[in-house]
Amino acid sequence: MTSPKTTLRLTPLAETLPAAVPFVGPETQERARGAQFDARLGANESGFGPSPKAIAAMADAAHDAWMYGDPESYDLRVALADDLGVDADQIMMGEGIDGLLGTLVRLFVGQGDPVVTSAGAYPTFNYHVAGFGGALHTVPYRDDHEDPEALLAKAAEVGAKLIYLANPDNPMGSWYDAARMEAVVAAIPCGSLLVLDEAYIDLAPDGTAPQIDPETPGVIRMRTFSKGYGLAGARVGYAIGPRALITAFHKVRNHFGMSRVSQAGALAALRDPDWLEHVRAQVAISRAEIARIGAAHRLRALPSAANFVTLDCGRDGDFARALVAALSAEGIFVRMPLKAPQDRCIRVSCGQKAEMMAFERALPRALACCTEI
């Protein structure tokens, strides 16, 4: 783009921000390669699909799409509250966790305000922090896990307003059990807010989700219908936290931002726990498949509590990047961690049998293309 400085009077902060897209979407890649992917395994979407009941509810709600969605998402929040054992006013709905993260960062982070995350953790959180001028401090992963104690220590050191921690973690798939997370919550430095991203919690082993009284100051949890419930394209996430914090979202959020069709789909999905169990079982099968396929080519599967498996290629980031590109050329969409040393890996989302077979066929061909690296 040409420099807009003379014609566009952007804010000084906006002037400094790049217009880069954090993730190039698979459709963009498909347009570039002139063909659709055979297997869409790069965005941790749920190839097992949403509940048929959710699909039916969305089809029904399409007739009502002339009406704005309820800006309170009342029915959905009440159902979630009932499910979670919290109050509906301790829940805020938003356009995916991405949307909620943006609003949260906006509420807390001004120019130069310190924020702590792990080097290589969720880039969209970092994008929002940069977008509001925050100063991001990172700590390294430890043994392919986020390092909670290092995050807390860094937060105390810099006086962090926000601390980002995902459990299970993306992109590594690693996780901590509930007791460990409860200890982390107990140790949050005064004045810091822990943003506990639980996007993948529905797919984690029982005993992963910590017990946290939602009024606990200093912690907000983020969850989504995008992963286990298979509704990434509907854009429905939610935050659980203290009433005073949840209420603060009303200060700046796009009140009428939720799709009515998506609200209906999420509600129906929530009311079909059998489908979630089905997906959990399918994900477990697919995780084992990805591990088996990787192992056949000396790519080591890291343990995963999410709907993806991170495969350690045992080489460097250049090799993994080449492998991701070669897989793309073979019709397989995957992604990879962005920071060393995690970038020695590729990340493969779980999927149905056909996608697993496509991945199995493509992997040796893609690896053969990478031998000169």
Site for its own copies in 148-187 (CB under 8 A): 161
Q: Does residue 68 bind its own copies (CB under 8 A)?
A: yes
Please, what is the Cα angle at 90 between 88 and 92, to 5 degrees?
Answer: 85
**CB 346, min distance to its own copies, A:** 19
Fill in the per-residue mask, 234 to 253: x = in contact with its own copies (CB under 8 A), - = not in contact: xx------xxxx-xx-xxx-
77 touching its own copies, by CB under 8 A: no
The three-class DSSP label of residue 326 is helix
* Binding of residue 70 to its own copies (CB under 8 A): yes
**Least distance (Å) from its own copies to the CB of residue 370?**
27
Q: Which of 223, 260, 287, 335 binds its own copies (CB under 8 A)?
A: 260
Nearer to its own copies, 269 or 362 (CB): 269
Helix boundaries (H) for 162-272: 178-186, 243-248, 260-270
The reply on whether position 256 binds its own copies by CB under 8 A is: yes
Tell me whether residue 160 or residue 346 sits nearer to its own copies (CB atom): 160
Cα–Cα distance measured from residue 110 to residue 13, given in angstroms and rounded to the nearest whole number: 10
| 35 part of the interface to its own copies, by CB under 8 A | no
Judged by CB under 8 A, which of 79, 80, 93, 108 binds its own copies?
Answer: 108
Whichever of 270 and 302 has its CB closer to its own copies, that residue is: 270
Of the candidate residues 41, 90, 91, 99, the single one contacting its own copies (CB under 8 A)? 99
Nearer to its own copies (CB atom), residue 63 or residue 85 = 63
What are the respective helix, strand and coil percentages of the chain, to the nearest 5?
Answer: 45, 15, 40
Answer for which of 261, 270, 322, 326 binds its own copies (CB under 8 A) is: 261
Let me know: does 57 contact 79? Beta carbons within 8 Å. Answer: no
Cβ-Cβ contacts under 8 Å for 291 (sequence gap 6 or more): 301, 309
Q: What torsion do the CA atoms of 122, 119, 167, 85 make, to the nearest 10 degrees?
A: -70
32 lies in the binding site for its own copies (CB under 8 A): no
| Total residues in contact with its own copies, by rule CB under 8 A | 90
Q: Residue 205 to residues 127, 169, 170, 175: CA-CA distances in angstroms? A: 30, 13, 16, 10
Q: Which of 138, 174, 224, 262 binds its own copies (CB under 8 A)?
A: 262
Told to check if 10 binds its own copies by CB under 8 A, we report yes
59-82 burial, b if ≥16 CB within 10 A, otherwise e? eebeeeeeeebeeebeebbebbbe
Q: Which of 33, 36, 64, 213 binds its own copies (CB under 8 A)?
A: 64
Cα–Cα distance for residue pair 65/42, rounded to 1 Å:
30
